[in-house]
C-alpha cells in the first residue's frame, strides 16, 4: 500500500505543478505570443480606437511587407541586384505610374538592362548573373496579382507568384515603391479616363483569401462601360472606387473587414483606420514619389537605391485634368474634395515626408546628384 500511496502523491504534485505552470504562463506570457493572432487582434472592434490619433502609425503587430526607407538608409540595406532583392511597384491608377513604370524598365543604368519586346509590351528584367526577376511590375511581370493590385493584394501574392514563376521558394527582400498624385487632379483624370470607356474590370479586389462580391463592390453603371458619363453622375455613385482611391489602395483593407467596410458599410471609424494604415504603409515603403515633383522623386529614388536613370524625369505642368479643373464651379471642386478627403490628408502627409527625405538624402550625399538643387 505504501508504494501506491507515494505514487498518488507524486501524481497529485505533478498535476498541481502543471496547473500552476498554466496559470503563470497565462499571466506572464507576452501579448504578442499568447493573445489572438495579429490579424485577429486588429480586427477586434476595439481596434477602431486607433482612429483616435489620426496620422499616427498603427501598432507594430501589423507585419511589415518589405524593407522601409529608414532601413535602406540607416542600416545600409542597399538594393542588391546580385542577391535576391525584389522591387515591387504598387501602381495606383492615374498617378503617372505608366511613365514611371517605363522609366524602370527602359531608362535605368544597369549592368544588364531590361530586355524589352515592343510587340508584347513586356520586358525581361533579370539579375546580372542569373535569370531571376528583380522587378515586379506591370511591364516586367505583368499583372500577376491582378490589374492594379493594391497593398492588400500584393503583400499576399507577390512571394507566391515569384516562387511559381521561378520554380522554387527563395528567401527574398522586398522593396515596395509607389507614386501618389494630388487627389483632385487624379480624380478628374480617372473621370476622363472612365468617360472614354475605361473600366478596369480585370481588377480582382482580393482580400483575406477571396475576391470581393458584387454586393460588396457594386457597379456604378449598366452595360459594358460608363462611356459618356457626366461629372455629376460620376460623383453621385456612392461606391465609386475613384473616391479616396489612393488611401484605399495603400491601406490594409483587412483592418476594416475588406470591401465590406470600405464601401457599403463605411463609417467615420473605418475611414480613420484606413487613413492611419495608409500613412503607416506609405512611410514604411522603401520609396514613393509624387507626380507633381518629378525631379525630387527621381532624386530620392536614385539616392535610395543607388541606381541612376539615364534620362531626367519630365514635369508636365499642363495636363488635361488641369484644364478640366479650371472649368469647374467652386461647388464642384468642393464636392470632389469632400469625396477625396482621406486622399487629401494622405497627400499632405506624403508631401511633407517626401520633402524631408529629399533634404536628408541631399545631406547624406552632399547634394552631388544632378537634381540636388531640388532638395536644398
What is the spatial distance between Cα 346 and Cα 203, in angstroms, rounded to a whole number? 23
- Grid cell, residue 6, equals 507515494
What is the spatial distance between Cα 95 and Cα 193, in angstroms, rounded to a whole number? 12
DSSP state of 178: E
What is the CA 200 to chain-centroid distance, rounded?
A: 18
**Residue carrying the nine cell digits 483632385:** 184
Q: Just list the catalytic residues.
A: 148
β-bridge pairing 85-90 and 173-180: parallel
Put the strands of the sheet holding 85-90 in their side by side order: 135-136, 85-90, 173-180, 287-290
CA angle 115, 116, 117 (to 5 degrees): 125
Hey, which residues does 116 pair with through a beta bridge? 123
What is the spatial distance between Cα 229 and Cα 243, in angstroms, rounded to a whole number? 16
β-bridge pairing 206-207 and 210-211: antiparallel
Amino acid at each position: 500500500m505504501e508504494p501506491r500511496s507515494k505514487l498518488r502523491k507524486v501524481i497529485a504534485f505533478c498535476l498541481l505543478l502543471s496547473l500552476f505552470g498554466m496559470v503563470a504562463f497565462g499571466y506572464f506570457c507576452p501579448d504578442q505570443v499568447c493573445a489572438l493572432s495579429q490579424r485577429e487582434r486588429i480586427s477586434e472592434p476595439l481596434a477602431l480606437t486607433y482612429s483616435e490619433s489620426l496620422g499616427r502609425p498603427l501598432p507594430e503587430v501589423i507585419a511589415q511587407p518589405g524593407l522601409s526607407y529608414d532601413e535602406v538608409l540607416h542600416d545600409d540595406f542597399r538594393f542588391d541586384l546580385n542577391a535576391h532583392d525584389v522591387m515591387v511597384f504598387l501602381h495606383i491608377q492615374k498617378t503617372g505610374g505608366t511613365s514611371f513604370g517605363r522609366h524602370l524598365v527602359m531608362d535605368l543604368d544597369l549592368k544588364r538592362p531590361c530586355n524589352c519586346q515592343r510587340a508584347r509590351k513586356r520586358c525581361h528584367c533579370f539579375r546580372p548573373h542569373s535569370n531571376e526577376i528583380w522587378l515586379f511590375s506591370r511591364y516586367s511581370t505583368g499583372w500577376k496579382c491582378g490589374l492594379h493590385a493594391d497593398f492588400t493584394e500584393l503583400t499576399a501574392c507577390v512571394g507566391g507568384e515569384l516562387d511559381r514563376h521561378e520554380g522554387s521558394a527563395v528567401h527574398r527582400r522586398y522593396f515596395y515603391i509607389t507614386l501618389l498624385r494630388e487627389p483632385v487632379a487624379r480624380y478628374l483624370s480617372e473621370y476622363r479616363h472612365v468617360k472614354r470607356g475605361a473600366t478596369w474590370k480585370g481588377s480582382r479586389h482580393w482580400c483575406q483569401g477571396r475576391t470581393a462580391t458584387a454586393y460588396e463592390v457594386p457597379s456604378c453603371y449598366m452595360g459594358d462601360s460608363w462611356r459618356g458619363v457626366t461629372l455629376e453622375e460620376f460623383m453621385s455613385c456612392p461606391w465609386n472606387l475613384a473616391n479616396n482611391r489612393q488611401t484605399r489602395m495603400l491601406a490594409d483593407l483587412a483592418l476594416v473587414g475588406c470591401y465590406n467596410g470600405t464601401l457599403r458599410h463605411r463609417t467615420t471609424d473605418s475611414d480613420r483606420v484606413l487613413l492611419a494604415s495608409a500613412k503607416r504603409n506609405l512611410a514604411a515603403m522603401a520609396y514613393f514619389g509624387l507626380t507633381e515633383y518629378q525631379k525630387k522623386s527621381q532624386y530620392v529614388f536614385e539616392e535610395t537605391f543607388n541606381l541612376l536613370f539615364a534620362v531626367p524625369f519630365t514635369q508636365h505642368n499642363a495636363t488635361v485634368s488641369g484644364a478640366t479643373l479650371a472649368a469647374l464651379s467652386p461647388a464642384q471642386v468642393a464636392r470632389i474634395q469632400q469625396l477625396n478627403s482621406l486622399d487629401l490628408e494622405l497627400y499632405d502627409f506624403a508631401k511633407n515626408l517626401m520633402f524631408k527625405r529629399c533634404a536628408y538624402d541631399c545631406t547624406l550625399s552632399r547634394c552631388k546628384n544632378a537634381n540636388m538643387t531640388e532638395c536644398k
